[in-house]
Amino acid sequence: MEWDQINYFQTVAKVQHFTKAAKLLSISQPALSRSIANLEEELGVQLFDRKGRNIYLNRYGDMFLNRVEQSIKQIEIGKQEIWDEIHPDYGSIALSFLPSLGTSVIPKILSSYQSEFAHVKFQLHQASNQQIINQVKSRKVDLALIMQLHDDKELIYEPLLTEDLFLIVSNDHWLADHKEVDLKIIENEPIISFKDGYELQAIIHHLCHKAGFTPNVVFEGEDVGTVSGLVGAKLGVSLVPDLQVLDKSKIRLIRVNNPICKREIGIAYLKDCYKSPVVERFIPFVQRLFKTK
């Protein structure tokens, strides 16, 4: 069964006349008759009752026409959905990002973008750094905002911004009145880190080892809010970016001089992979947004 046969059948069913239908379809009447006959042969039933020059849909023809019209409607809906999905003014973007970016970076990007392109929709996902990388590689998302990526041959990574990381302690901690410290000073402190796969866990361990000690991790959380809450409860100290989610009534932020404590955030996407027009336009928009900071 071919698309032309379906189109021919629908036209004949509407006008119920082969000659008129052939003119509308710009084909010869014998060619149209053969096409309908082949369709009926494939279905194993006649679709029209023929009375002289006139033809009428029979109950099988009515049944088939109903399904044909439903199918054509669904195809048109599918075409419209695809057009909406890829059109730069009406498409959608599947974006995955680190939970720690959800209070400032992501709201900034989305509000700025939708102020110019209000009809673009976003499907947002939050996960650990490695989970996000897997989502991009499996094409579950179009783009990702992740921590600095090194030597991944499947992905393109472009840096966007650098954030300072601060030592956080409870208000009555013995370091609370310090404005700046070397990281080595917390060598014997209980440290609250992040769970496996979360980018801040790797950063904390790397910076502690760079400072000359192995961190004494007593608790692990999944997000900055939880970790800062545990610090505020006097259960340990940690390293986090300065985010809005931090309850600064219970903790103090202290700058670390040695080693320099920062993290780089960038945008990542699959190399050599088709990107819809809306995704193609979003990438340079985000790059410009952070270059103007």
pLDDT at 293: 52
d(CA 231, CA 171): 9
Yes or no: say if 101 and 126 are a contact pair by the CB < 8 Å rule.
no
- Spell 91-122 as b/e; 16+ CB within 10 A means b: bbbbbbbbbbbbbebbeebeeebeeebeebeb
Residues 27 and 113 placed together within one structural domain of the fold: no
d(CA 95, CA 108): 14
Beta-carbon count within 10 A of 244 CB: 11
Residue 100 lies in a domain: yes
Residues 168 and 259 placed together within one structural domain of the fold: yes
d(CA 205, CA 201): 6
Residues 134 and 274 placed together within one structural domain of the fold: yes
Residues 169 and 201 placed together within one structural domain of the fold: yes
Residue 30 lies in a domain: yes
d(CA 35, CA 272): 43
Answer with the one of 22, 56, 78 that is the final residue of a domain.
Answer: 78
Residue type, 257: N
State the residue range of the domain holding 38. Answer: 3-78
E strand or H helix that includes residue 173: none
Cβ neighbourhood burial of 255 (10 Å; 0-12, 13-18, 19+): middle
pLDDT at 292: 58
Residue 15 lies in a domain: yes
**DSSP 8-state secondary structure symbol assigned to residue 99:** G
Determine how β-strand 251-258 pairs with β-strand 180-182.
parallel
Is the bond into 259 cis (omega within 30 degrees of 0)? yes
Residues 234 and 279 placed together within one structural domain of the fold: no
pLDDT at 80: 75
Residues 170 and 256 placed together within one structural domain of the fold: yes
Answer with the one of 78, 107, 136 that is the final residue of a domain.
Answer: 78
Q: Is the dihedral of CA 135, 138, 142, 146 positive or negative?
A: positive
Mean pLDDT by runs of 10 across the 293 residues of the chain is 89 90 92 92 92 86 93 85 77 92 93 94 92 94 92 92 96 96 98 90 95 97 92 97 86 96 95 88 95 65
pLDDT at 246: 85
d(CA 43, CA 104): 60
The structural domain count of the chain equals 3
Residue 84 lies in a domain: no
Residues 200 and 232 placed together within one structural domain of the fold: yes
Residues 58 and 123 placed together within one structural domain of the fold: no
In terms of C-beta distances under 8 Å and separation of at least 24 residues, what long-range contacts does 284-290 make, across chains too?
285/112, 285/113, 285/116, 286/109, 286/113, 286/160, 287/158, 287/160, 289/108, 289/109, 289/112, 290/160, 290/161
Residue 284 lies in a domain: yes
d(CA 70, CA 86): 25
Residues 13 and 134 placed together within one structural domain of the fold: no
pLDDT at 151: 81
Residue 83 lies in a domain: no
CATH number at residue 273: 3.40.190.10
Residue 85 lies in a domain: no
pLDDT at 178: 97
d(CA 33, CA 53): 13
pLDDT at 81: 76
pLDDT at 268: 97
Ranges of H-type helices in 217-276: 224-232
pLDDT at 138: 94
Spatial CB neighbours of 280, under 8 Å, sequence gap ≥ 6 = 88
Residues 17 and 55 placed together within one structural domain of the fold: yes
Yes or no: say if 239 and 207 are a contact pair by the CB < 8 Å rule.
yes
Residues 216 and 139 placed together within one structural domain of the fold: no
Residue 244 lies in a domain: yes
Task: Please give the model's pTM, rounded to 2 decimal places.
Answer: 0.69
Answer with the one of 46, 78, 110 that is the final residue of a domain.
Answer: 78
Residues 249 and 275 placed together within one structural domain of the fold: no
d(CA 128, CA 196): 9
